[in-house]
Structure 1
Amino acid sequence: MAGDESTDSKTSPNQKPYGVVNIKTHVAIILDFNELNYDAWRELFETHCRGYQVLGFLDGTSHPTFDKDEEWYTLDSIVKSWIYVTLTQPLLTSIVKKNSTAHSKWQSLEDLFRENKDT
């Protein structure tokens, strides 16, 4: 029986992210360009995503396995929505683009804050 459970967990989709109702209970910081809180926000967000086994959607290592991989697109949308609700309105407006992935949004934020930090 124990072997059956491990096999089932490997073949069944990752259900953990579906249970997150309010990301703000896990990532209690709202990313704000004026608050200089990017590093803390990023650490909390990455920790949350690692715990929910979706870090690959941020770092770009997770890809759809086929053209209409609905499970992948659904999880990507969940991670995108987590990003959206942890941003101030101006930041949200600056990264919203149609048909983009969580990874591209993550990268846009990284570029925006790292560029600003360098200057």
Structure 2
Amino acid sequence: MSSSTSSDSSLPQAIIQAPIANIHHFLSIKLTTSNYLIWRSQFLALLRGYDLLSYVDGTATPPPMQFDDGSSNPAYILWHKQDQLLLSWLLSSLTESVHAHVVGLESSHAVWQYFSSAFSSQSQARIIQLRLSLHSLKKGADSMSSYLLKAKSISDELSLASKPVSDDDMVLYILGGLSSEYASLVTSITT
């Protein structure tokens, strides 16, 4: 890029110096109607890593489109170009059915806000569902390794949703789901 671009302090230097050509190397999960929390966590890591979160969360406001004399503002042109690149990244990380919901939205911020509002209540419901699943988890006829794997899977999903389960609570959930044949084990662990 030109030297005048690299001196513009309003744009993240990582993008000015080395734009990402293929975002799919960094985003392996496409957004569906049921995986918002996982998709969001991978996208947030990328945005934070390239100092671009302010574009999608709305804290970076665009510079004026034109100067008072009516001439184009180069800072706005660069800002808009970056926003459109981010919009492209967002759109390329969607499944076709989710993409249909955001057709017509023209900024990365608008798309991000739509997802936040459309999927946040689903996300809260999913967190509650996961917590209830962990609370009601029973070993039953499963092998111990299968039972522990189920518990770990639920715990991992809660961690991805930024609601991690403490180790102490995890032990209690696991012990609570064991049948009476494990009563002596539970007693020895709890005493």
TM-score of the superposition, structure 1-length normalised?
Answer: 0.79
Work out whether 1:84 is the aligned partner of 2:82.
Answer: no
Work out whether 1:96 is the aligned partner of 2:94.
Answer: no
Q: How does 1:10-25 map to 2 (within 5 A)?
A: 11=9, 13-17=11-15, 19-25=19-25
Structure number with greater CO (CA < 8 Å, separation at least 6) is: 1
RMSD: 2.2
Per the alignment, residue 5 of structure 1 pairs with none
Query: Partners of 1:15 and 1:87 in 2: how far apart?
Result: 27
1:90 is paired with a residue whose SS is helix
Query: Partners of 2:88 and 2:59 in 1: how far apart?
Result: 19
Identity of aligned residues (%): 28
TM-score of the superposition, structure 2-length normalised?
Answer: 0.51
Per the alignment, residue 52 of structure 1 pairs with 50
Unmatched runs of 5 consecutive residues or more in structure 2: 1-5, 67-75, 126-191
Please give the per-residue CA displacement for 1:28-80, whole angstroms capped at 9, x wherever unaligned: 111111xx211111011011011111110111001112125101100100110
Query: Partners of 1:106 and 1:20 in 2: how far apart?
Result: 20
Unmatched runs of 5 consecutive residues or more in structure 1: 1-7
Please give the per-residue CA displacement for 1:69-97, whole angstroms capped at 9, x wherever unaligned: 10110010011001000000111111121
Structure 1 residues 61 and 27: CA distance shift in structure 2, 3 A: same
Query: Partners of 1:75 and 1:52 in 2: how far apart?
Result: 12
Q: How far is 1:10 from its partner?
A: 6.6
Q: How far is 1:16 from its partner?
A: 2.8
Query: Partners of 1:118 and 1:44 in 2: how far apart?
Result: 18
* Structure whose alpha-carbon radius of gyration is higher: 2
